[in-house]
A and B are shown apart, each in its own frame.
Chain A
Amino acid sequence: MKGMRSIVMLMVLAGGLAAQDVPLQRAEEREATRLQSREVFDVIRPVARGASASTVWVWADQRQVAMGTVVGDGDKVLTKWSEIAFSRTPVQVVGGDRRTATATVLGVYKDDDVALLQLEGARFTPVRWSIDPTPDLGRFLVAANADANSPLGIGVVAVAERTLRDSDQAFIGITLDPSFDGEGVKILETSPDGGAREANLRKGDVILEVDGKSVTSPFELRNALLNYSPGDEIGVTYRRRDDSGTARVLLTGRPEFPGIPEGRLRTMRRMGGPISLVGDGFPMALQTDMQLKPRECGGPVVDLDGEVIGMTIARTDRTRSFVLPAAHLQAMLAQEPIDPTLAQLPQEGGVQGARAGAQAVPMNPRSAGRLRNHLEEMSRFLKRLDREMGSIGE
């Protein structure tokens, strides 16, 4: 599985040519696409109008940093936690009608990077979540704006909802022999703390079935494991020389690797605009190709019927934005959020353990400011480093 981490890089156009948006685009082509964008924009405007009443702008440190989705009796708002966690001033919430409320953080759903705000000074219309199943692949999505006349973006469902949390992915603790040709998959080695070794599976054993379902390739084994969570036990049928046997194997979470940044991929992820500080690792999210800015995340998303199917949570990179599905948000809201003082900011890219999590609050405003500046500087530095590494690679 090691080889899977290296990706054939799309070639990146060299400096001079990339300076213009699309270097060979003729004026008439530019006009044709611009006109078309305008047409689409006119069509989606009424689609998102209903949801815009439940959409607010979230301000922190005198800047609009995120969108918010109005819930509860209209006195609570969901927004993106990582965008307000560092705020040195009280968070403000502004509606499309310019009414303003002051917000306090009631609690945080850390894994989802969602903060629940309590408003004071204004109430808005609470969102009505869609009760339909999450839209299929290729269905169109529109992100609502607080300003009813300018929805934030349109995109399609790129990938069905799934967990992005490593801890939800179950591991059996073996590596496989890629050269093995026969029926089943052959164990090349067992990892020291993995469930397979505990269950006395050994190098050379050939796994034939998982819970009665046959597995014929490494990928089929991985797919079979996707249906389980760490802590589940599975029945494994295997062949050892001429014997066959069964074992109960306890599945574990993904083993932790040191986070090695893949230089050019990271550069590509950032090509085309800024990305969210927290963009991955969500327990349940739908992927879309919708092009948003980080500060445009946190508001409702509707389908073409105007039904609110979820809330945008991240601009993850050049190709991906994520949406938390309506059903998931409702289940989340049924749980108690954690106290904001206990909510450490998740790591960028969902990589755990690579850097110590930043303690958000309490912290004195000056050191918070320094930390923020330091992080920004660091990310600029990393970006430059990526670029330079990238150009060496070319």
Chain B
Amino acid sequence: MKISGILQGIGLSALLMGPLAARESVTSLQDLAALETRTTAVVKQVMPATVAIISSATGASGSGVIVDEEGLILTAAHVTDGAEEVDIVFPDGKQTQAKVLGSNYSKDAGMARIVDDGPWPHVALGESGTLKAGDWVIAMGHSEGYDPARTPPVRFGRVVSEGPGNFMTTDCTLIGGDSGGPLFDLEGKLVGINSSIGETLDNNNHAGIDGFKEDWKRMLAGESWGELQLNPLTNPERPVIGIMMGRELRDGGVPVEQVTPRSPAAKAGIRPGDIIRSVDGERVRGGRSLGMLLAKYSAGDTVKIGLQRGREMTELSLELMRMDQLAEELKR
């Protein structure tokens, strides 16, 4: 966890402390020691199920985690990409084989199943939708590939940002080889799968477990679909309201040029000529900002869109829809 840059924040955060208190605050050494105790317990519990995935077809090595006794493995779609069978290596060096099942590339979610009969060590599923900035998490993975001289490194940190969509960002630092490895809450429940990184140390992205649950049956049945897309503004599963944006105004307002029929915007009564000013109270600063604000949500979430219609300000609630589903809907 990063502690540099803390001091600059003091003035501001002192003002904002009330409503923004961190989810699980650490105000005494006992609190911190309690976190430590939970962390050591989780690590012991989940280590045996944190496996390396090696594809002899592509010669590449990533990570995964076993989630049931029969050896079902969750991983990142980009780890099993291009492979039908993969080698599985446990932290103690034991080796077995797994058959690659389905993937949803838009969520970077993948599945594989160990061929041999279990029982295999496994972890329990948690929830990712409820996670907020400040929630403590533990990331694991076979960093830089399987290394017989060590166990998969433990990374402790917290959620720093929700979204885009099903994804979340933490300050548990990841590197190549960690892809597909697990992210746990402090109960040892699986809440995410390691996916990508940005330049800074607090930009480590994980696919949320809730997204896996949505697509569980299709992936289990071996279906693969979607598009590997890191830019949240072009991900086919991104949540949309269904408008064509006009040229953004100088003050950041985004005029509605067209409203897509049968879209959330159409259902909520947004009209061409309306100017979008805010999303759930957060001010819109241009078209890109509107896209980024919406990317934080998932399809099915209800958001309040602040609109200017002539001189009137109004707020409309609407339920976000997935871009690809809206496109499907329009084809009918």
A residues with a Cβ closer than 8 A to B are 2-14, 17-18, 21-26, 28-44, 46-47, 136-140, 151, 153-160, 162-163, 169, 178, 217-220, 222-223, 226, 264-265, 268-269, 271-273, 287, 289, 291, 304, 317-320
Closest 10 CB pairs of A and B: A8-B62, A29-B133, A36-B22, A219-B93, A272-B201, A138-B40, A3-B59, A25-B161, A34-B9, A158-B153
Once the chains are docked, how many angstroms separate the CA of A293 from the CA of B64? 31
The reply to whether B93 and A222 form a contact with Cβ atoms under 8 Å apart is yes
CB-CB under 8 A from B262, the residues of chain A are none
Instruction: Confirm or deny: B218 has a beta carbon within 8 angstroms of a beta carbon on chain A.
Output: no
Binary flags per residue of B131-148, CB closer than 8 Å to A gives 1, else 0: 011100010000111101
**Min C-beta distance of A163 to chain B, whole Å:** 8
CB-CB under 8 A from A226, the residues of chain B are 148-149
The reply to whether A21 and B36 form a contact with Cβ atoms under 8 Å apart is no
**Min C-beta distance of B305 to chain A, whole Å:** 17
Closest to A25 in B: B161
Once the chains are docked, how many angstroms separate the CA of A176 from the CA of B158? 42
CB-CB under 8 A from A17, the residues of chain B are 198, 230-231
CB-CB under 8 A from A272, the residues of chain B are 173, 199-201
Q: How many A-B residue pairs lie within 8 Å, measured between CB atoms?
A: 296
Binary flags per residue of B1-44, CB closer than 8 Å to A gives 1, else 0: 11111100110110011001111011111011101100111111
The reply to whether A271 and B197 form a contact with Cβ atoms under 8 Å apart is yes
Whether A7 contacts B177 in the complex (CB less than 8 A), given A41-B6, A265-B144, comes out as: yes
CB-CB under 8 A from B47, the residues of chain A are 137
Instruction: Confirm or deny: B150 has a beta carbon within 8 angstroms of a beta carbon on chain A.
Output: yes
The reply to whether B56 and A43 form a contact with Cβ atoms under 8 Å apart is no
The listed residue (A40, A163, A273) touching B26 by CB distance below 8 A is A40
B residues with a Cβ closer than 8 A to A are 1-6, 9-10, 12-13, 16-17, 20-23, 25-29, 31-33, 35-36, 39-44, 47, 53-54, 56, 58-62, 76, 78-79, 89, 92-95, 108, 132-134, 138, 143-146, 148-151, 153-158, 160-164, 169, 171-180, 194-203, 205, 228, 230-232, 282, 292, 295-296
The reply to whether B26 and A43 form a contact with Cβ atoms under 8 Å apart is yes
Main secondary structure of the interface of B (DSSP, over half): loop
The reply to whether B95 and A43 form a contact with Cβ atoms under 8 Å apart is no
The reply to whether A12 and B93 form a contact with Cβ atoms under 8 Å apart is no
**Min C-beta distance of A200 to chain B, whole Å:** 26
**Min C-beta distance of A162 to chain B, whole Å:** 6
Residue from A36, A42, A43, A163 whose CB has the most chain B CB atoms within 10 Å: A36
The reply to whether A38 and B198 form a contact with Cβ atoms under 8 Å apart is no
The reply to whether B230 and A13 form a contact with Cβ atoms under 8 Å apart is yes
Whether A31 contacts B13 in the complex (CB less than 8 A), given A304-B32, A319-B143, comes out as: yes
The reply to whether A38 and B13 form a contact with Cβ atoms under 8 Å apart is yes
Once the chains are docked, how many angstroms separate the CA of A271 from the CA of B146? 21
Q: Give 8 A-B pairs besides A18-B199, A287-B150, A318-B175 with Cβ atoms closer than 8 angstroms.
A: A24-B232, A37-B6, A38-B6, A43-B29, A137-B43, A158-B154, A289-B172, A291-B173
The reply to whether B154 and A289 form a contact with Cβ atoms under 8 Å apart is yes
Whether A34 contacts B13 in the complex (CB less than 8 A), given A8-B176, A23-B198, A217-B95, comes out as: yes
Closest to A44 in B: B32
The reply to whether A169 and B149 form a contact with Cβ atoms under 8 Å apart is yes
Whether A22 contacts B200 in the complex (CB less than 8 A), given A31-B12, A38-B9, comes out as: yes
The reply to whether B198 and A22 form a contact with Cβ atoms under 8 Å apart is yes
**Min C-beta distance of A74 to chain B, whole Å:** 28
Once the chains are docked, how many angstroms separate the CA of A219 from the CA of B232? 40
Once the chains are docked, how many angstroms separate the CA of A23 from the CA of B169? 10
**Min C-beta distance of B28 to chain A, whole Å:** 6
The reply to whether B43 and A33 form a contact with Cβ atoms under 8 Å apart is no
The reply to whether B36 and A13 form a contact with Cβ atoms under 8 Å apart is no
Once the chains are docked, how many angstroms separate the CA of A28 from the CA of B42? 29
13 pairs from A and B in contact (CB 8 Å cutoff): A5-B145, A7-B144, A8-B176, A9-B176, A22-B169, A23-B198, A31-B12, A31-B13, A39-B22, A42-B27, A268-B175, A287-B153, A291-B1
